[in-house]
Structure 1
C-alpha cells in the first residue's frame, strides 16, 4: 500500500503529515510512527501527524513523538495543519478542541484556556503551580501549566547557560510528573519579550514548541514578569506571538511552511 505524506514545519519543528480524512489508513502504531520519524532510516521528523474524521469537530489530529508515544497537543503542528486545510476549522485533539485559521505567513490558533490545578497538569501531589517549591540543581521554583499538554517553566537569567540536554530528561521523567512533562527554560528580555528553550517530552531538544511558548508566556503573565496580556516568545527557530485573551483562552500566531510531498510503502515501516 503506497501512502502519500506532506512534510511541513513550524519554525523548524518538522512534521510528517498523513491525511486520512478521506482515505483511511491502517492503524498507526507507535512502532510505525517511530520508524517514520527516524532521520536515518525513515522520512525524518519531530512528530508524525495523522488527520482523521471527527464526530466532534471538522476533523481530528493525532500527534506521535519520535519515541512512538502519542501526545495531546502540538501548537506548531496546529499551524501547519491550518495551512494545509486552508480555512477556519475546529480540530479535535487528545488535549481538547482547538480552532485553527490561516493568517499572513502562517496561522492563528485558539489553543483554549490554560489549566493550573495540580491534578490538571498533572502532578503527583498538591502543590502551588505558580511557584513550585522544588529544584533540580540550579533550576528552581518553576511554574506549571497545562495547555493541552503538561509544561514546567523555569525563569532564569540566561537560557543559553542551562545544560538542558542533561537536565531536560531528568526533569521530564521525575516522579513528580506522572505523565512526564515538557521542560522550558525562559529568560525575560523585555516588557513583552521572552527568550525560550524547550526540552520536549518524548522528543528532546527542539527548535520550536508552540505549546511551550504558550505555557511560558502565560506563566510569565501570571507572575507579572511581562506587561499586559501579550508577549513575543523567541525560540531557536524564531518568534511566536502569544496573547492571553480576555475570554481566558490563548491565541498563538506564527509561521508554518510546507516543505515537500512524497509517498512511501506502508509495509516498509510496519
Structure 2
C-alpha cells in the first residue's frame, strides 16, 4: 500500500512522521520500521513516529527507534508536536501521551518547548553519571568532545551487560562557558552517534545544572542548539523540566510498503 509520510528534524535528529489515526502497521510493525528507517533501502531516519488518536489527550505519540525498539524521544516529541500542529490536531498548546507518560508542550513558529517528566536523581557511577529522563543515559565529562571517540567508547559502554543489561544511551560533555555545555551522544536503537538527542541533553543539563547550582542550561550539539530549564523540588527531584528547540518539516512524500491488507488496522 502507499503511505503518505513527512520528514521532520529537530537539531539534526531526523524522524519519519506518519498520521496513524487511520491505519497501523499491524501486530508486528518492526520489519516495516526497520525498512523505512534504513538510510540505503528506505526513507532513512533515526526513528519513526506515528501520531495516533487518544480519547483523553490531543494525541498519542508512538515512537520507534530505527531498529524497531521503543523509547521516549525528546527531539522526536518536539517534532511530533510540530507535526500535530501541521495536521490541525492542535494549535499553540497541547497535552499528549508518550511511552513514559503525559507531556505538555507549546509551539511558537518552529520552536517547541516540551515539558519532560520529573527525574528523581542523577546517580554517580565511578567517575561517570547516570539519569533516566524517559530513556536511560550514561554521561561522562571529557576535555574536548569534538575530538573524542564517541562511537567507539559509546558503543562499549552501551554494550556493558553487567552495568546495563538492557543497554543505555551514552553522552559525552564538554563545558564551553558557565551556562553552556557541548554534548555528543551515542544512541541505543540507532547504534551510532546522532546529531542530537533530546533526552540525552536533558540528562546532561540536569547533571551540569545541579553541579553548578544553575537551573537553565544552553546545550550545543552537532545538529544545533537546545535549552533545558528545571526546578529542584523540596524532595530533591528535578521538576518542571522543559526542553526547548527547533522542529522543522524537511520534506514529504509517498512510499509503497508491502503490508498485507489483513494486518492493517482501519480506524475509520
Ranges in structure 2 where 5+ consecutive residues have no aligned partner: 86-90, 234-238, 264-268
Q: CA deviation at 1:262?
A: 1.1
Correspondence 1:85 to 2:84: yes
Q: Distance in 1 between matches of 2:46 and 2:115?
A: 22
Q: Distance in 1 between matches of 2:139 and 2:82?
A: 29
Q: CA deviation at 1:56?
A: 4.4
What does residue range 43-58 of structure 1 map to in structure 2 within 5 Å?
Answer: 43-58=43-58
Which structure is higher in RCO with an 8 Å CA cutoff and minimum separation 6?
A: 2
Tell me the equivalent position of 1:122.
none
Tell me the equivalent position of 1:126.
none
Distance 1:191 1:92, change over 3 A: same
Distance 1:179 1:115, change over 3 A: farther
Tell me the equivalent position of 2:217.
231
Correspondence 1:263 to 2:249: no
Q: CA deviation at 1:222?
A: 2.2
What does residue range 139-178 of structure 1 map to in structure 2 within 5 Å?
Answer: 141-175=127-161, 176-178=163-165
Correspondence 1:254 to 2:253: no
Tell me the equivalent position of 1:180.
167
Q: Contact 1:78 / 1:100 at 8 angstroms: preserved in 2? A: no
The two structures, once aligned, show a CA RMSD in angstroms of 1.8
Distance 1:249 1:31, change over 3 A: same
Ranges in structure 1 where 5+ consecutive residues have no aligned partner: 117-128, 134-140
Q: Distance in 1 between matches of 2:135 and 2:120?
A: 10
Correspondence 1:212 to 2:200: yes
Q: Contact 1:196 / 1:234 at 8 angstroms: preserved in 2? A: yes
Q: Distance in 1 between matches of 2:31 and 2:106?
A: 32
Greater shift, 1-10 or 78-87, is seen at 78-87
Q: Distance in 2 between matches of 1:255 and 1:245?
A: 22
Q: Distance in 2 between matches of 1:152 and 1:44?
A: 26
Q: Distance in 1 between matches of 2:39 and 2:110?
A: 27
For these two proteins, the number of residue pairs brought into alignment is 247
Correspondence 1:241 to 2:246: no
TM-score (normalizing by structure 1): 0.86
Q: Contact 1:159 / 1:186 at 8 angstroms: preserved in 2? A: yes
The DSSP-based 3-state class of the residue aligned with 2:258 is helix
Q: CA deviation at 1:211?
A: 0.8
- State the Cα deviation string for residues 122-142 of structure 1 (Å, max 9, x = none): xxxxxxx53212xxxxxxx11
- State the Cα deviation string for residues 77-98 of structure 1 (Å, max 9, x = none): 1111111222211121111211
Correspondence 1:115 to 2:120: yes
